[in-house]
Amino acid sequence: MWFEYLVNIFTFPGFLFIILIAFIYEWVDRKLYAAFQNRVGPWVTGFSGFLQPIADFIKLLTKEDITPEGADTLIFRSIPVFSLAVALLCSLFLPISGIRGLVSFEGDLIVAIALMTLLSIMFFYAGLSSPSRFSIVGAERTMLQLLSYEIPLMLSMASVAVSTSSLSIMGVVEAQRNRWLIIGPNILSFIVFLLAAQAELERIPFDIPEAETEIVAGWLTEFSGRKLALLRLTKDVELFYLSGLSTALFLGGPLGPMVPGLEWLLHPVYFTIKSLVVLFLLSLMRSIFARLRIDEAVNFLWKYIIPLSVLQFLLVRVVA
Amino acid sequence: MTISELAGGPITAFILSLIVAGVLYAIGGSIGVKSKRSPSKCKPYACGQDVPAERTPVVIWLYKFATAFLVIDVVAYLFVLSMGAPFVSPVRELVIVYSVVTLIALITIVRR
């Protein structure tokens, strides 16, 4: 049992698969973003730039690793490792190779939310431990944004839990065997979830904590070498995690028309196709908007998205 | 909890993912370029200006306020919506814990 578990967790639905697919998702995202802007995007390394994220990662790993003077050394050095570990742990909850994720228990929906919040708080600490003023401004913006998108995110996931009367991702997927949750009143929660996911990932229009034209790179400014490599990998894994989570919660996860005997292949294929659709939506959102200012973002999230999420929760509660 | 039960659990998974992240970090440390540290290299980024490396204190009263709002508003809202639900045993303890947390949050706001 242990041998099989270790093989699973290190290779197929586990770490190797997650890291590779996270790189692929970054490539798809960059290609789509470039296509929307009439650019070519990455195209040198590998077929049509397919290996570019991996090449970037290896290049960053071989660069010199500098800890600036005045930094809080312990936090500054441990944040990249811990944030990557938390992002990888999040992705293990996803039902990739079947209805059941690699790590699955009753109540893992709550743990999924908590780990996402923990990731944002880690980024806050990463900025806070740097000696640069750009990092501190970025960290403050991360926290302000966290406080704004946290409530809609929680409420959209709560409405999913209410309408399937289950608190585990496995139960939510199981309840969608006949009808996906996006068909029905939960379409509103899907929209809210996508907006909150975009804010969580710190991408345009919510890339205020990393706005490079204003504050260099936000909380990432002082990170270099292997630390930057791990943090960028964390971002990619988070992108895969959030598109996979919305797939599992709203689009039926790995379910679809099945051929007997081919479940081991069809489950991951369906999951990947559906989450690529979500990734397409996220990239589209990233390319058709411009960056909001921090006060505009907080205003928008508190004045419009939170009432919208309250409304969708009431709607789901009344209908369900 | 026996050893075989730990296999699918989140704690084992977290330790293993920590090991993976640590191994990647260590690989970066072993193949990364090592060169001499110079004082200008260790300065924080400031476009060539001479900005001292110091960590400015962060104003946190807003976060206190917002956290209190989170606690008071959202949880109360969820409680109101679960009014009709059957009154199972953990709800009573939850209500007590929630009232205590709300009281602390209110005291924090009033004292500010």
B18/A85 CB distance under 8 A = yes
Per-residue pLDDT at A66: 83
- Nearest-Cα residue of chain A relative to residue B77: A310
Per the CB < 8 A criterion, the answer to whether B102 and B68 are in contact is no
Mean of pLDDT values over A100-129: 82
Mutation pick from A6, A133, A216 vs chain B, by most beta carbons of B within 10 Å, is A133
The SS3 of residue A25 is helix
CB contact under 8 A, A89 and B55: no
| A23 vs A51: CA distance, rounded Å | 8
Give pLDDT, residue B34.
79
Task: Give the pLDDT score at A243.
Answer: 92
pLDDT given at position A23: 92
Give contacts of A67 with chain B, Cβ < 8 Å. 42
Selected residue with higher pLDDT from A279 and B110: A279
Label residue A12 exposed, middle or buried (CB < 10 Å: 0-12, 13-18, 19+): middle
Whether the CB-CB separation of A195 and A189 falls below 8 Å is answered with: no
Most confident of A39-43, A44-48, A276-280: A276-280
Nearest to B28 among A61, A150, A151 (CB): A61
A219 and A122 Cβ atoms separated by less than 8 Å: no
**Which residues from chain A sit within 8 angstroms of residue B56, using beta carbons?**
133, 136
Instruction: Mark yes or no for CB contact A9/B33 under 8 Å.
Output: no
Flag if B28 and A66 touch (Cβ within 8 Å). no
Range of A235-239, A265-269, A287-291 with top mean pLDDT = A235-239
Please report whether residue A31 resides in a domain. no
CB B12 within 8 A of CB B6: yes
Q: Do A62 and B20 touch (CB under 8 A)?
A: no
What was the pLDDT predicted at A129? 85
Taking 80 as the threshold, does the pLDDT of residue A263 lie above it?
no
CB neighbour burial string for B3-24, b if at least 16 within 10 angstroms, e if fewer: eeeebbebebbbebbbebbbeb
pLDDT tier for residue A98 given thresholds of 50, 70 and 90: confident
pLDDT in tens, B4-62: 666 667 788 888 888 988 998 888 888 878 777 777 777 777 767 777 666 667 777 66
- Find the mean pLDDT for residues A120-147: 84
- Percentage of chain A beyond pLDDT 70 is 100
Q: Give the residue with greater pLDDT, A24 vs A257.
A: A24
Segments forming the whole domain that contains residue A219: 59-319
Contacts of B5 in chain A (CB under 8 A): none
* Average pLDDT over chain A, rounded to an integer: 85
- Would residue A231 count as lying in a domain? yes
User: According to the model, what pLDDT value does residue A28 have?
Assistant: 92
Percent of chain A with pLDDT over 90: 19
In a domain, A3, yes or no: no
DSSP class of residue A12 equals: S
CB contact under 8 A, A5 and B14: no
- SS3 sequence of A198-232: HHHHCCCCCCHHHCHHHHCCHHHCCCCHHHHHHHH
This prediction has a pTM of 0.86
Choice among A267-271, A301-305, B68-72 with the minimum mean pLDDT: B68-72
With a cut of 80, say whether residue A308 has pLDDT above it. Answer: yes
Nearest to A81 among B22, B43, B54 (CB): B22
Give the N- to C-terminal CA distance of chain A in Å, as an integer.
40
In a domain, A253, yes or no: yes
Q: What is the pLDDT of residue A68?
A: 82
* Residue A13 CB contacts under 8 Å (≥ 6 apart), including other chains: A92, A94, A96, A97, A101, A102, A268
Dump pLDDT digits (tens) for B73-111.
666 656 655 555 555 545 556 666 667 776 776 676 666
- For residue A232, pLDDT over 70 is answered with yes
pLDDT for the residue A126:
87
Number of domains in chain A: 1
* CA-based nearest distance B34→chain A, Å: 6
pLDDT of residue A238: 92
pLDDT at residue B81, as a whole number: 55
Q: What is the pLDDT of residue B7?
A: 64
Give residue-wise pLDDT tens across range A138-158. 888 888 888 888 888 888 888
Q: What is the pLDDT of residue B93?
A: 61
Q: Is residue A137 part of a domain?
A: yes
Residue A115 in domain: yes
Give domain status of residue A257, yes or no. yes
Higher-pLDDT residue of A147, A30? A30
| Buried residues in A116-125 as b, exposed as e (16+ CB within 10 A) | beebbebbbb
Helix (H) or strand (E) holding A155: helix A133-164
